[in-house]
Amino acid sequence: MISVEEKLQVFTQYLLSKERKWGKDIIYEAKEKKKALLADSKERIQKEKRSIEERSYQTIFRDKNKIIAEGKNKAKTLELEEKNRILGDFNQLIREKAREYLTETVYTNYLRDCIVQIPQVFGSKKELVVYVNERDFDQIKAIIEEELDEYTIEYHQDCQDCIGGFIAEDAEGRLHCDFTVENLIKSNYKLIGMTLNGFMEKQVG
């Protein structure tokens, strides 16, 4: 027969075997959980890293585009300011050069062309006021008397800021027409600007 001591020894070994297996299972389960936690942590870290990189890239891309756009706008503004300055200087040069032609036939023809337009502008109004500078007074008066002999003209020699030409208006001051050289330049300002701009673009290109 098996003694009590032997039974206890067998039972004890059984319990120890169970205990070891249970311990191994716990250790294995703990290791698996640890591995799962590490894998999950790595995945979360990678996701966060990618998210940070994407946000950083978007921020850098946005800031880069903003800086480029600001640079382009600033360059465009400076270019426009420079073009306007050049255009202003060019128009001043035109004004100065125009003075050289005021004694030539082309200027006399310009004045005559303006004067013959007066009937079309003022219609049946025959009483006019003409503002002219002192230098052009005799020449303009002579052309008006030749071309508009049916008109009554009141002259004012106080167009001191005019390079040349004249300003005409009806006696009531309701209808006004500017035939000055300054207005001629001003009315062609856009054409002058386009011509000058095209010239500058060719020089840059």
Question: Which pLDDT tens digit goes with each residue over 94-113?
Answer: 777 777 777 778 888 889 99
Taking alpha carbons only, the member of 163, 161, 158 closest to residue 107 is 163
Bridge partners of residue 154, in order along the sequence: 129
Under 8 Å CB-to-CB from 197, ≥6 apart: which residues? Answer: 83
**Residue range 170-181: average pLDDT?**
88
Topology, domain 105-189: hypothetical protein PF0899 fold (3.30.2320)
Q: Are strands 152-156 and 176-178 parallel, antiparallel or unpaired?
A: unpaired
Bridge partners of residue 153, in order along the sequence: 128
- Is 0.85 surpassed by the pTM of this model? no
Pair 111, 143: CB distance under 8 Å = yes
Per-residue confidence (pLDDT) for residue 174, from 0 to 100: 87
Pair 165, 67: CB distance under 8 Å = no
- With tokens 């942590």, the residue in question is 41
Per-residue confidence (pLDDT) for residue 14, from 0 to 100: 55
Taking alpha carbons only, the member of 191, 177, 192 closest to residue 93 is 192
CA distances to 58, 66, 158, 185 from 180, in Å = 59, 48, 13, 9
CA distances to 25, 28, 162 from 99, in Å = 109, 105, 10
> What whole-number distance in Å separates Cα of residue 178 and Cα of residue 26?
105
